[in-house]
């Protein structure tokens, strides 16, 4: 009897040890499965992180949702000039209309606001609950910075070169060095006096870059050509712009690039009355202002530049930084030459343009 009890106990002990071993094996298998699952989840999270990171480094603004946004989306705009000036302010206003159509947004617009009075205009819209306030001038930078701090839940977009605040204030701008370089190259190709000029409305960073690259394009194309440049510090003083332009012509300049809104239009009309003087227009095709005397015009797709700011905000990719667009995104273009260039000159210009677009020619500031 005792031997049977002893045998049973031995069996029980062996069985318990077997069960313990099985538990350990099952536990190890479970741990291995958990580790494998965690590894897969980590890899998936990393893949998602890098996908998002890549998409933000190069904004894809071609896939904008059309009229899908609720009408509660409200967008306001402030511009420095009138909405019918056939130049910068009008282009921005057209962009606001694109936003209204494509995003079913409620919009409002205030024009003819100078830098001194911009803070009140921008704050008024933020206080009224607009989700995005678009400030269309480099003169508005400081005002936008100040108001953005006061209204952290409101998004603000400057349409100029500005670094943003990495929060709610960002900017969309042209890669202005591209057309600065190309207009300089074109002016150097066409001058007979070896003197060319560039006139712009204000010394904002975007235009300082443009002016510097104009000079670089001139010298790279023909080192013997002398560039003259001027910042008017006005977009509306037609008398001042006309005097600066005519003074340049009097000094021997025979090709002028003019980017100065209403002031620039007056200057263009004045200098093209002089024999042997040609201009490169800006913003829109300005050929009809002086047929035969406008070599071409830099075409700025201002409406779509403005629209890109809203696309980024609606895609959740507005990070409060600077987004630049140019030839590659077809935000810039040139009006037809209409016989103002020889076939050889056109071929040369196309070659330079392609090199600028692809980065073979460095147009960084």
The mean pLDDT of 326-334, rounded to a whole number, is: 96
Of 88-92, 154-158, 318-322, the one with minimum mean pLDDT is 88-92
Mean model confidence pLDDT for the chain: 87
Residues in a beta bridge with 336: none
The mean pLDDT of 25-48, rounded to a whole number, is: 52
Neighbours of 200 (CB within 10 A): 27
SS3 48: helix
The mean pLDDT of 155-168, rounded to a whole number, is: 97
Of 34-38, 61-65, 92-96, 284-288, the one with minimum mean pLDDT is 61-65
SS3 79: strand
102-112 residue pLDDT tens: 999 999 999 99
Strands 322-325 and 169-174: parallel
**DSSP per position, 105-136:** -EEEEE-S--GGGHHHHHHHHHHTT-SEEEEE
pTM of the model: 0.76
- Token representation of residue 36: 């494998």
Query: Do residues 113 and 144 make contact, with C-beta atoms less than 8 angstroms apart?
Result: no
- Pick the more confident residue, 363 or 81: 363
359 burial level (CB within 10 Å; 0-12, 13-18, 19+): exposed
Strands (E), 163-225: 169-174, 195-200
């Amino acid at each position: 009897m005792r031997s049977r009890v002893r045998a049973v106990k031995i069996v029980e002990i062996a069985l318990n040890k077997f069960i313990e071993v099985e538990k350990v094996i099952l536990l190890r298998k479970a741990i291995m499965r958990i580790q494998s699952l965690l590894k897969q989840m980590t890899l998936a999270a990393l893949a998602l992180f890098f996908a998002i990171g890549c998409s933000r480094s190069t904004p894809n603004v071609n896939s904008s949702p059309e009229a899908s946004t609720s009408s509660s989306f409200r967008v306001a705009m402030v511009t420095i000039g009138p909405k019918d000036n056939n130049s910068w302010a009008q282009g921005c206003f057209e962009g606001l209309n694109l936003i209204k159509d494509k995003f079913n947004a409620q919009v409002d617009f205030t024009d003819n606001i100078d830098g001194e009075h911009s803070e009140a205009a921008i704050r008024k819209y933020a206080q009224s609950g607009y989700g995005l306030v678009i400030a269309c001038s480099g003169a508005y930078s400081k005002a936008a910075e100040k108001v953005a701090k006061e209204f952290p839940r409101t998004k603000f977009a400057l349409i100029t070169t500005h670094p943003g605040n990495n929060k709610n204030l960002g900017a969309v701008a042209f890669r202005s060095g591209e057309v600065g370089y190309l207009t300089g190259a074109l002016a150097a190709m066409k001058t007979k006096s070896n003197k060319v000029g560039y006139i712009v409305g204000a010394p904002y960073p975007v235009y300082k870059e443009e002016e510097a690259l104009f000079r670089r394009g001139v010298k790279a194309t023909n080192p013997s050509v002398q560039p003259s440049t001027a910042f008017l510090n006005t977009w509306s003083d037609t008398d001042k712009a006309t005097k600066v332009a005519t003074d340049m012509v009097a000094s021997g300049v025979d090709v002028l690039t003019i980017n100065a809104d209403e002031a620039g239009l007056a200057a263009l009309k004045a200098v093209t009355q002089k024999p042997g003087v040609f201009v490169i227009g800006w913003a829109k095709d300005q050929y009809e202002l002086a047929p035969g005397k406008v070599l071409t015009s830099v075409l700025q797709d201002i409406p779509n530049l403005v629209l890109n700011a809203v696309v980024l905000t609606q895609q959740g990719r507005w990070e409060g930084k600077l987004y630049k667009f140019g030839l590659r995104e077809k935000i810039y273009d040139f009006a037809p030459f209409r016989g103002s260039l020889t076939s050889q000159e056109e071929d040369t210009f196309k070659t330079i343009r392609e090199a600028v677009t692809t980065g073979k020619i460095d147009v960084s500031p």
